[in-house]
Structure 1
């Protein structure tokens, strides 16, 4: 796919710049990684690959039921600063928790050091951001956003780290900041220079930072504008860098002020807390002092741990999550702390426990943050949210497309998928996942319509693929999973987009595998048992989001940020803007897979973990990607973003500047597990209209994805769009059959009705014109009865989907189709006169034998040798599908070609250079007219290649990319034509095409060129 899901940033690519793609998928995939150029700037002594210089003897695969994984390092290992090559705990102290080291977190650059090998990148905890330095810990409370780009166009907003003060020990000069401890949403950095030491506990939602120090006085160094407005012994209140702070030393302490430096001996007790205060008018020191007074009873309470515990209440379809604080009071008798809630938590806040005013009730104190306003609880020991769970389905029901003409249309579209439902020629974990996801959609539709032959072909492909990947053989290096004990991770090889080198995107990749396994479990329960391949599915789940705290082989909930409420994509998070995530919808695909796997196999723990992830992320996605609370900064010009950063958000992607992809990346894959996208139908329509406005017209790429999203808000409008553009290009993970099925049925069902819930996880309600349709799917092996919250009840046989209300329908699980009558006999064709004889053709010279390798030339020919021109210029894109446009591409053809199809695939090696420009992407298409009749029998389009911003040719090859789409089939060439087209599909700059070394190799033998 062209989606770079974990995203690289450097000072060379500041916020607002159109960055080179790189969803942190590794170099084994198409090299869309401007970030890797930054790595080259670091010395080999600092950056080291985590690979052994001498390969150990191969280990026997570890059996998991009938499946297995290897413990050999069969591909790239995680990369980082040199010590990590052999010890992922290299930047942890001896006191750090045992077990696998967390990755993919907001603080990961502190332990998974990638570029800064001594300290870390900024750590955006909210409301405070932090940055370690040799002298101590920098603090920043940024209250106003910085906007980049064009309002209403591609742009970003950030609350960047802007240092207000540094807290340290006098004379501290540590060579490295390590990690001494962590909990569900806190981390404790540690400094030690041999004579002085310090730790600091920081975390999401904690405006109080706790410090422990030894070896010298506490020293706080502010900016030049530091102004003290409170100094009453142990407390000192001051403003610096545009923010207000209070430092709380132990009782009996005092502070000295020298310019912008504050110093205290801490009465020899060695602890200190520093509070960032809510925003106060510049001239209101009395209000600042009042804030300090409110914080004082809790300023001496150390947060020693945090934990979130969840329960899924089936009867009310609510996920009840309790966020608890472990504390130790160093002075006074309080147990509570001060905690700020994210908007997605406040929206569903149910209970607060504590010893603050009103038992820790919400106070009238608010902080500004990259996620909007954070309301603050005073004296809380815990708080509980009741977040609604709104249900998933294997697929929308066929209430419309199972009858009449609509059925004939869908049948024809399904027929086109009969031979190869997976379709995508995939090799790595991401693209294999995409292919599996495509086949799963075909299974669901074919099963609903009793097209069992097509369904079973897709199931066979799914089972063959999963079984292949879930089985490791001695010496095997591809299509398997490998456990890396050093890092506590299970990596699929070949990896993609940094899933191996940086531990990126495991939830994205593995979610597709888990959904496919859940689907297979319905039709072949034996395959999914622990004795067969169910255990391997559980291993993938545990790697990406291990919900078993007792399993220390993997970190707890690796990809999920428990307090922030959503996933992070980058394994190391080493960016100035913190960690990031683009495709929230692919994160939800993992949660959906976990739900359906748990239900299908009877594993309630897996089911409930999936529901917890799904419900929590639904709330976070609606707030932060789709701006439910209207909190995006004024002037940003958008009510949706393509990606979230620790410090903000961006109407952008790492791989495209097209509005369709910026917005579409958070709506795919289109499945029954993504009904949450339709919880606010008016917002769906508004977002689609925003896309059209930014795009200056209807979508020209990813139309199927975007129509499917629009169908959740206005199905009839989406269907009209689909009917009006029947030749649209199909997105790689989609099929025409599924897109039509989804849109046509939603046009009849209407929109999701979240006001009615069910006591089953696999159920939903739709409403249209005031009439409801109740839908329940039974993906177990026994009949179930589903009760809806308004009293409606549905009895659902095993393996079927049942609807009631505005549409009464049942389908799926029929196991076969009804016999049909044989066709009526027809009359034989009328005899025709024999053709008139013609003169024999004039003899011609026999064609010359030719090599199957051809060079591109500037004059538009495919030639056996390079032409005289060194390069050709591909102009800036004039549209994603501007193929054949001479201003943006090059077309080269060869006529009168004859040869025998050899059964191999097209191969190519193309040199491209976009100079120092970023954001360019080039696509290649090869077409074959087998008989020279002017009609192309086979057309192959390849995923585009994103160039980096460094001069020098890069290689766009068939080995490092994937086929995006193909039409028709190859056969023997008989006086045929070969056409090669190369053109820019994204980017605003030109690209040089290397003509001396750019070749295409065609899969034909005994090749000759010349008129017959």
Structure 2
């Protein structure tokens, strides 16, 4: 540890900004700086000046890959000699000075308590170590990599070894010099096959076969196996897909089936994709470059992830090099991995189901719904971005908020609101996309050492750890795509389009010839999804939380490519989007049912290399754990609704885990629910129109999204389009076809069932169950022109908001709710006597209003109470409000608020619905008809009384005008 500590340093000193600022690098009218204006990536000391410090000269040229499953090998963060466990699936690996450890964990380990399981993992549990006798390397380096393999390298001067490992490769290839091959197993090692060059053995609960060159032999000493490899210096070790029920004969039969391919080295891997526009299919071919060291076979053993297997082209063996399907499969953290034997390639055909700039205004374009949405847009008219943003993430969130407002305002011809949003978007992007000499904030800086473009101020480790670039930059790219269709000149290479392309290249460079950035930095080509951590230096491997923000990036590429006529960018976005859609449904939403039964959840907040967690980095709240994989809510996230029943089940799971409906992120979760049941989501929104707004959302967009999905129904993946910016919805058996034209030319969109739509420039058009069209500025017009004659905001614009009535009452000591304060100035709450004990006035205060009639106004309950525990310590006061809407003696809606912890300083404190959110609720609100309102306040913690100030303690109920009979 002392040695490791000595070489781990913070790089703040080494990365100090140069004394003389370099001239910014121009990109069209934009620019980025090459000065180190903020923190550089931090890790073990040599990385400060050389990101390739742990990479050998034989490795590929260009920027070092980060954000991968194997990144802790090269981006050494905590272990400056080796790495953290590398979870490749089905095998996990761990380098050590003596060689490479292998682990095939077949049963999950669950973490938490009964009824509160939070994580499941298939942890690294070492079965054996493969090395060279006497090897004692001080560091493991990277000698090579390809699309989903990596080659660690060891040397101590006298002995050396390399190992090629990768996703889906149950056979590990080794090359050695300087000594005999040495395999050290666990204490339970048992040999069951000894056949010259082959030796089969069980260790650590798994079955392995080591294949030495022909003519070799193996010797055993306890749990150590050795071979001189006939002086040829190569070896392969295969883990077998056997089970504990297999006998040695079955193990041997499995070894026999692998033997013809055991001497085939995988020297490289590559995935090539194409988007078939006519069928809306992404066809991806996964190829293995191989070298046969014995025999003439070219194929290898390939284990497929579920998201690949479900879309595997034809049946195994049909395509060239497809191999034969094995009757055995492997267990993994992602579920069962089916196996191809003798494959040189395989192809998947993954459907792409389309994106939209925004759902169409089929319900909110006219009538009462239009008036309601207009009023909500009025509230956003002056400042659509709203958020006081600084770093790249929160600036992105603010841009995303403005984009949603611009899109729905455009659909409704609210051009003034739209143009204000576009002005803010353009000003913000232009500022960030322009660097000035000596500037240090709101700009992008290229770090040549790491081959990365970092925005400063950075956030969440996007600078020091290269985390989350796809999350942050996706918002910028989506905003640029929206701006591009209204102001195409801004998006040209001569203006700011080149800077958008730089952000795309940093996060997921799809041009293999561009060596300034790694190829597909954030995207794991074989695993099918992004990784968030730059270094991935965790015992559980790399991780990703917000899969939906990863999809926001892919959606941005699609819409930017379509809007600018860049098919390569469009197709890269579609490849990322379709592949991740398949992976997200399988792994975040348990489409294959692979999550352990004892886990108790059908969704996760985070995927780890070794498993999954019902958790986030920032909150333990169920609504945030599940909500983080649904935001931002955009037309690019329709994939979330491909399984409507699962949407409803996931929402109900959240409600159960939360002990009630959401109390934060209601807008996000209701919008997600709308993809499964729009009417239910709309009812929840109507019952609580004054919910707290998530930072990247607006009330206008939430209402627009939910109300229109309630009309459209659910996404229909059975029908696809020959345009990527189109979708189909179904409700009660009737389909609505939707297509948006974000190009500068008229467009005809064909759907797979023969339906077609002609879509003018800038318009969104629907047909079928709903016929509607809206939106669009003419090609080449300036959307910010104040003389735009189409702006309808004068004087016919419906700016008066609908009436949303509420009535305020005071609490009184005699148990009544009154419109004026009563004669008593205070009430006493007794010491805690139980969590739900209100009791008599000496214990708690109950105030009731009966025989009351009034219209539900769509707001939410609000309160502002003065509470004082005087000098008493540890008291906590709770409020509960109950509504019996019909006066039948049973409460239709019960709201319990989080308790308020009072301080021991005399003087009343404010217990409000703002500082203490709703903790749980049951039922829904509606009109009061001879009903009852009941308010209860009592101490739920503490052993002393508290006072309530009755002079200014008020309750606002969402009804009015009220009459009492």
TM-score range with shorter-chain normalisation? Answer: 0.7 to 0.9
Q: What pairs up with 1:899-918 in 2 under 5 angstroms?
A: none
Equivalence for 1:922 = none
1:152-231 to 2 correspondences below 5 Å: 153-231=116-194
Matched, 1:428 2:442: no
Q: Which runs of 4 or more aligned residues in structure 1 lie more than 6 Å from their structure 2 counterparts after TM superposition?
A: 39-42, 352-358, 819-824, 871-879, 881-884, 888-895, 939-942
User: Displacement of 1:699 after TM fit?
Assistant: 1.1
| Unmatched 5+ stretches in structure 1 | 1-38, 825-858, 862-867, 896-924, 928-935, 943-987, 989-1012
Whether the 8 Å CA contact 2:878–2:898 is kept in 1: the answer is no
DSSP 3-state at the match of 1:312: strand
893 and 209 in structure 1: CA distance in 2 versus 1, 3 angstrom threshold: farther
User: How has the CA–CA distance of structure 1 residues 51 and 98 changed in structure 2, closer, same or farther, with 3 Å as cutoff?
Assistant: farther
Q: 1:887 aligns with which of 901, 910, 915?
A: 901
2:313 matched to which residue of 1? 350
Pairs within 5 Å for 1:465-480: 465-480=428-443
What is residue 29 of structure 2 aligned with on the other side? 66
1:698 equivalent in structure 2? 661
Query: Retained in 1: the 8 A contact 2:320–2:345?
Result: no
SS in 2 for 1:350: coil
Question: Are residues 1:47 and 2:9 paired?
Answer: yes
Structure 1 residue 356 displacement after superposition: 12
| Alignment correspondent of 2:506 | 543
Render the CA deviation track for 1:282-333: whole Å, top value 9, x for unaligned.
Answer: 4500000000000000000000000000000000000000000000000000
Closer, same or farther in 2 for the Cα pair 1:872/1:552, shift >3 Å?
farther
Match status 1:616 vs 2:579: yes
* 2:458 equivalent to 1:495: yes
1:233 maps onto 2:199 in alignment: no
**Structure 2 alignment gaps of length 5 or more:** 779-789, 799-865, 881-894, 918-940, 942-965
Find the counterpart in structure 2 of residue 507 from structure 1: 470
1:462–1:516 Cα contact (<8 Å) kept: yes
Q: Does structure 1 residue 296 correspond to structure 2 residue 259? A: yes
- SS for the counterpart of 1:688 is helix
Spell out the pairing of 1:231-310 with structure 2 (5 A cutoff): 231-282=194-245, 284-310=247-273
Answer yes or no: is the 8 Å Cα contact 1:883–1:889 preserved in 2: no
Aligned partners of 2:523 and 2:359: how far apart in 1?
28
Summarize the Cα distance change of 1:72–1:269 in structure 2 as closer, same or farther, 3 Å threshold: same
- Tell me whether 1:647 sits opposite 2:661 in the alignment: no
The partner residue of 2:85 within 102, 106, 122 is 122
The residue correspondences of 1:316-335 to structure 2 (distance < 5 A) are: 316-335=279-298
Q: Contact conserved, 2:623 with 2:664, CA < 8 A, in 1?
A: yes
Deviation, structure 1 residue 701: 1.1
Instruction: Select which of 361, 367, 375 maps to 1:404.
Output: 367
Task: Note the C-alpha offset of 1:277.
Answer: 0.2
Aligned to 1:565: 528
Whole-angstrom CA distance in 2 between matches of 1:223 and 1:665: 41
Counterpart for residue 455 of structure 1: 418
1:707 and 1:587 map into 2 onto residues whose CA distance is: 21
SS at match of 1:209: strand
Distance 1:374 1:171, change over 3 A: same
Q: Which residue of 1 aligns with 2:851?
A: none
Q: 1:751 to 1:365 in 2, by over 3 A?
A: same
Task: Give the corresponding residue for 1:962.
Answer: none
Distance in 2 separating the partners of 1:892 and 1:188: 68
Q: Give the superposition deviation at 1:563.
A: 0.1
Shift of 1:860: 10
Offset of residue 46 of structure 1: 2.2
Aligned-pair distance for 1:874?
Answer: 11
Closer, same or farther: CA 413–175 of 1 in aligned 2, 3 Å: same
Query: What is the DSSP-based 3-state SS (H/G/I as helix, E as strand, rest coil) of the residue aligned with 1:684?
Result: helix
Determine helix, strand or coil for the equivalent of 1:126.
Answer: coil
Q: State the alpha-carbon separation in 1 of the partners of residues 641 and 103 from structure 2.
A: 37
**Residues 356, 379 of structure 1: 8 Å contact kept:** no
Counterpart mapping for 1:847-866 below 5 A: none
Once the two structures are TM-superposed, the CA of residue 55 in structure 1 deviates from its matched residue by 4.0
Give 1:574's aligned residue. Answer: 537
Q: Deviations over 1:859-897 (max 9, x none)?
A: 999xxxxxx99x998989999x999943278999999xx
Verify: 1:625 aligned to 2:588, yes or no: yes
| Preserved contact between residue 867 and residue 902 of structure 2 (Cα < 8 Å) | no
Q: CA deviation at 1:634?
A: 1.7
Q: What CA deviation, in whole Å up to 9, does each residue of 1:547-575 have, x standing for no partner?
A: 00000000000000000000000000000
Q: TM-score with structure 1 length normalisation?
A: 0.78
Cα gap change, 1:602/1:96 in structure 2, threshold over 3 Å: closer, same or farther?
A: same
Partner-residue secondary structure (3-state), 1:340: strand
Name the counterpart of 2:781.
Answer: none
Is the CA contact (8 Å cut-off) linking 2:267 and 2:291 kept in structure 1? yes
Q: Deviations over 1:831-878 (max 9, x none)?
A: xxxxxxxxxxxxxxxxxxxxxxxxxxxx999xxxxxx99x99898999
Q: Deviations over 1:791-827 (max 9, x none)?
A: 0000000000000000000000157245877799xxx
Query: Separation in 2 of the partners of 1:820 and 1:48?
Result: 59
- After superposing the two structures, state which structure 1 stretch, 633-642 or 184-193, moved more: 633-642
How far 1:612 moved relative to its partner? 0.1
Show the 5 A alignment for 1:428-447: 428-447=391-410
Maintained 8 Å contact 2:220/2:226: yes
Q: Distance in 2 between matches of 1:794 and 1:368?
A: 46
Tell me the C-alpha RMSD between the 2 structures: 2.9
SS in 2 for 1:718: helix
| Structure 2 contact 670–706 (Cα < 8 Å) conserved | yes
- Give me the whole-angstrom Cα distance separating, in 1, the residues matched to 2:299 and 2:321: 12
Question: Superposed, which structure 2 residues align to 1:927-946 within 5 Å?
Answer: none
Q: What is the CA distance between 1:419 and its match in structure 2?
A: 0.6
Using a 3 Å threshold, how does the CA distance of structure 1 residues 491 and 892 change in structure 2: closer, same or farther? farther
- Structure 1 residues 367 and 724: CA distance shift in structure 2, 3 A: same
CA distance in structure 2 between the aligned counterparts of 1:268 and 1:504, rounded to whole angstroms = 45
Which residue of structure 1 lines up, in the alignment, with residue 566 of structure 2? 603
Distance 1:284 1:876, change over 3 A: farther
For residues 324 and 170 of structure 1, the distance between their equivalents in structure 2, rounded to whole angstroms, comes to 34
Cα 1:798/1:940, change in 2 over 3 Å:
farther
Once the two structures are TM-superposed, the CA of residue 780 in structure 1 deviates from its matched residue by 0.6
User: 1:305 is paired with a residue of what secondary structure?
Assistant: strand
CA contact (8 A) 1:238 1:245 kept: yes
Match of 1:755 in 2: 718
The offset of 1:42, in angstroms, is 7.4
CA–CA separation in structure 1 for the residues paired with 2:631 and 2:3: 35
Query: 2:345 is matched with which residue: 382, 386, 392?
Result: 382
Q: Secondary structure at the match of 1:80?
A: coil
SS of equivalent to 1:48: coil
Structure-2 residue corresponding to 1:481: 444
Is the 8 Å Cα contact of residues 355 and 381 (structure 1) preserved in structure 2?
Answer: no
Q: 692-701 or 349-358: which moved more?
A: 349-358
Q: CA offset at residue 48 of structure 1?
A: 3.2
Report the CA distance between 1:494 and its aligned residue.
Answer: 0.3
Structure 2 equivalent of residue 680 of structure 1: 643
Given that 1:713 and 1:751 are in contact with CA atoms closer than 8 Å, whether structure 2 keeps it comes out as yes
Judge conservation of contact 1:153–1:651 (CA < 8 Å) in 2.
Answer: no
Aligned counterpart for 2:731 among listed residues 768, 771, 784: 768
| Matched residue, 2:675 | 712
CA distance in 2, matches of 1:799, 1:267: 71
SS in 1 for 2:111: strand
Q: Is residue 585–residue 665 contact of structure 1 (8 Å, CA) maintained in 2?
A: yes
* Distance 1:252-1:823 versus aligned 2 partners, 3 A rule: closer
From 523, 539, 546, the counterpart of 2:486: 523
CA spacing shift, 1:822–1:197, aligned 2, 3 Å: closer
Question: Structure 2 vs 1, CA of residues 747 and 889 (structure 1 numbering), >3 Å: closer, same or farther?
Answer: farther
Mapped contact 1:334–1:355 kept (Cα < 8 A): no
CA–CA separation in structure 2 for the residues paired with 1:890 and 1:781: 67
**Corresponding residue for 2:824?**
none
